[in-house]
Structure 1
Amino acid sequence: MKTTVADLKEYTANDIQILEGLEAVRRRPSMYIGDTGIRGLHHLVYEVVDNAIDEAMAGYCDQVSVIVYPDGSVSVEDNGRGIPVDTHPKVNKPAAEVVLTILHAGGKFDNKAYQVSGGLHGVGVSVVNALSTWLELTIWREGMEWHQRYSRGVPQCELTPVGKADRTGTKVHFLPDDTIFEEKDFSFDVLSSRLREIAFLVPGLKIDLKDLRNNKSVAFKYDGGVISFVEYLNRDKNPLFKEPIYIKGEKDDVLVEVALQYNDSFQERVFAFANLIHTVEGGTHVVGFRTALT
């Protein structure tokens, strides 16, 4: 039987939905963090940590602290410059509120504030905010301590100075929304593995991880960079030469670092990173390395 136009369900402009603000993130979270399982849950932490690491790579931060609390919340604190608190001229809101509530708002789209950066540019921390039951923002900047609270991405108060401060930095404390995530328990081992990698890739940066659920803690700080990383990977192997081979070069504003050390096993282990993001599926940088090596 032939279907006619009259048989089709009416489809008009009224059927087109426009999602405002962070509602799109809450409707389709997997588009932004991969999934709503254990991987996506930990991705929230990585996005906030990436912002702190960008400050470290820019030379303004040398310490990051990550704390997992008994209620399932996590805080990430750094001693960087602090998110700007002055009013954004286009939207007439504090810059910090813009960063946490508007997708694609951030300081990483040109090379003015950050020469190199990782994470979801202008998306990461706002996605974390949208997918959290609550988020507490603390900023130390311009001689003051600033505070603001959010609920599922919506500001619950104005960004307000609450006292004087003799330091700079940012602290983001959030509780993942249990109506969105299938998994609610952070893994100390998963977090420590990722934070260890970052510490290797940013020489001199100290990263502390504390889990108040079971009083576990660990601190990472490696001055040797990728050389220390290779030595760590070979710690249980028999290296064929003592010192890892290290190569560093820059061309067209692209900086490349390579460290390698052969051992007596038959298994190849290649870890590749682009702007500190682990590219598990390789890429042109891995292809280029293999071609140059062989």
Structure 2
Amino acid sequence: MSEDTNSYDATHITVLHGWEAIRKRPGMYVGSTSERGLHNTVFEVVGRAVNEVLAGRAGSVDVTLMTDSGVRVADDGPGVPVEAAGHTDGPGLEALLTRMPTEWRPVGRNTAALGPTVLGLCIPNALSSRLTAEVRREGTGWVQKYTHGVPVAPPTAVGPAADGGTTLTFWPDPDIFETAECSFAVLAERFRELAFLNRRLVISLTDARHLGEPRSVRFQSPGGAQDFVAFLDTPEESPVHPDVIGFEWEDQRMEGTAEVALRWCTSREERVHGFVNSLPTREGGTHVLGSRDGVANAVNAYARERRLLPAAHTDLRTEQICEGLTAIVSLKLDQPFFEGATRGTLGNPTVRPCVAEAVQEHLGDWLESHPEQAAAVVDRIVPGTPGS
């Protein structure tokens, strides 16, 4: 092979910028071009609106699936800043829709992650055939339209606005995605989870794609994780104790807050679901391990103290204790560390002992103050224990 054939220099490199790079390799940004990637695109847009609510700037989020495969996401916040209007308090509309986030991307315990990627509105904008942004801010309405991530014109003032808010309507590009039709069921399940995990959130989903009355659901959960556990327990699975045990705490050692809810039922299946900043950690992690440690320690300590186990009996194994347990372990961390690119496993090492200690303390207090229900829990694990 000649030297000329082997030559390689800067002329062989193609540099893609902005929307070009996103459209060239969409799977790098939303996971795939299948329905899963389509939903991750929706979650990016909805995530911005949800975080407006969690920050106390908005009260509700409304998502509508439109007849022409468009998706409309609206919030009643103050409206994002518009550069053309001279707003300077935060990233402006065009920056949000065209630039990858850097230092201004909100992170931490007061934000929610809806999908496995948190890359900003530039991703769904670039992967949409068109997008229309409507902003109502400080008494004026603004509109800007995009095509394939590129602005058609600068934001235009369209008249007075009586209230505040931001509405983003986008049409996922059928040349990129295998399907442009979102699943109502998949979106509803995720929005229901978000409402369980964030008490102040009110989020609605409307399906206007079919003739007749549109389907619409509204999610709000004042009971938080305790409502989540009650929802997961099916009617066929009788609870061992009627109460859903729930507690919350803050721990500076792990730089965050936690909420845990749990209940035993007659099923033999263990269902412990972990979440970090509202993102499901399907492979578990240190928070789930810590919760199981705490539950096992609390039950064993209570059983020993009340002599519900024979003196010669070894401690109950964690697997025994967690049979039939439904639990939600939700952490809000300032600096979550995930193992792997899919963020399915929490890796913060300090979390496990912190969660174990808190769960043992709070569950132990509940067992002490509910002796009849506590005895039923132990008898569920070791039938015929004394005092049951």
TM-score for both structures, normalised by structure 1:
0.90
1:210 maps to what in 2? Answer: 206
Q: State the distance in 1 between where 2:171 and 2:103 align.
A: 22
Deviation at 1:267, TM superposition (A): 1.1
Name structure 2 gaps, 5 residues minimum.
297-388
Corresponding residue of 2:276? 274
The SS at the match of 1:67 is strand
Q: Which moved more, 1:174-183 or 1:226-235?
A: 226-235
Is 1:55–1:81's contact at 8 Å kept on the other side of the alignment? no
Are 2:155 and 1:159 aligned? yes
CA RMSD of aligned residues (A): 2.4
Q: How many residues align?
A: 286
Q: Does 1:142 align with 2:144?
A: no
1:55 is paired with a residue whose SS is helix
Contact 1:199 1:205 in 2 (8 A): yes
Q: Looking at CA atoms only, which structure, 1 or 2, has the larger radius of gyration?
A: 2
Structure-2 separation of matches of 1:73 and 1:105 = 28
TM-aligned CA distance change 1:55 to 1:68, over 3 Å:
same
| Corresponding letter in the other structure for 1:118 | A
Match of 1:263 in 2: 265
Contact 1:199–1:206 under 8 Å retained in 2: yes
What SS is found at the alignment partner of 1:271?
A: strand
Structure 1 position 279, deviation (Å): 1.6
Structure 1 position 133 matched with structure 2 position 135 = no
Counterparts of 1:120-269 in structure 2, within 5 Å, are 120-121=117-118, 123-214=119-210, 215-236=214-235, 237-252=237-252, 253-269=255-271
Q: 1:110 to 1:230 in 2, by over 3 A?
A: closer
Measure the CA separation in 2 of the matches of 1:109 and 1:57.
Answer: 12
> 1:32 deviation in Å?
0.8
Distance in 2, Cα, partners of 1:277 & 1:88: 35
Counterpart check, 1:53 vs 2:50: yes
* CA–CA distance in structure 1, aligned partners of residues 289 and 84 of structure 2: 45
Q: Which amino acid aligns with 1:243?
A: D
Deviation per CA, 1:100-128: give whole Å up to 9, x if none: 001125733567xx84342544x231100
More displaced 10-residue stretch of structure 1: 162-171 or 63-72: 162-171
Tell me which amino acid in the other structure corresponds to 1:83: V
State the identity as a percent.
40
Structure 1 residue 195 displacement after superposition: 1.0
3-state SS in 2 of match to 1:124: coil
| Structure 1 CA distance for aligned equivalents of residues 224 and 159 of structure 2 | 38
- Aligned: 1:33 with 2:35: no
Gaps of 5+ in 1: none
Please give the alpha-carbon distance, in whole angstroms, between the structure 2 residues aligned to 1:46 and 1:104.
Answer: 16
* Contact 1:30/1:36 (8 A) holds in 2: yes
What one-letter code is carried by the residue in structure 1 that aligns with 2:16? L
**Residues 105 and 161 (structure 1 numbering): CA distance in 2 closer, same or farther, change over 3 Å?**
farther
Separation in 2, partners of 1:173, 1:141: 17
Shift of 1:87: 6.2
Contact 1:137–1:172, Cα closer than 8 Å, also in 2: yes
Does the 8 Å CA contact 1:98/1:105 hold for their aligned counterparts? no
Report SS of the residue matched to 2:94: helix
* Alpha-carbon distance in 2 for matches of 1:12, 1:55: 47
Residue of structure 1 in register with 2:383 after alignment: none
Contact 1:99 1:106 in 2 (8 A): no
SS of the counterpart of 1:261?
strand
Q: Which has the higher helix share?
A: 2
1:118 matched to 2:118? The reply is no
| In 1, Cα distance between equivalents of 2:258 and 2:294 | 13
Which whole-Å CA distance do the structure 2 matches of 1:55 and 1:126 have between them? Answer: 18
Query: Are 2:41 and 1:44 equivalent residues in the alignment?
Result: yes
Shift of 1:204: 3.8
SS state of the match for residue 68, structure 2? coil
Worse overlay, 195-204 or 167-176: 195-204
Given that residues 50 and 118 in structure 1 are in contact (C-alpha distance below 8 angstroms), is that contact kept between their aligned partners in structure 2? yes
- Indicate if the aligned counterparts of 2:78 and 2:164 stay in contact, CA closer than 8 A: yes
Moved more, 100-109 or 36-45: 100-109
Q: Is the 8 A contact 1:22 1:103 kept in 2?
A: no
Q: Identify if the C-alpha distance between structure 1 residues 238 and 110 changes in structure 2 by more than 3 Å, giving closer, same or farther.
A: closer
Task: Provide the residue aligned with 2:367 in structure 1.
Answer: none
Q: TM-score, normalised by structure 2?
A: 0.69
Tell me the secondary structure at the aligned position of residue 210 of structure 1: strand
User: Whole-Å Cα distance in 1 between the matches of residues 95 and 144 of structure 2?
Assistant: 12
Kindly provide the amino acid, as one letter, of the partner of residue 95 in structure 1. Answer: G
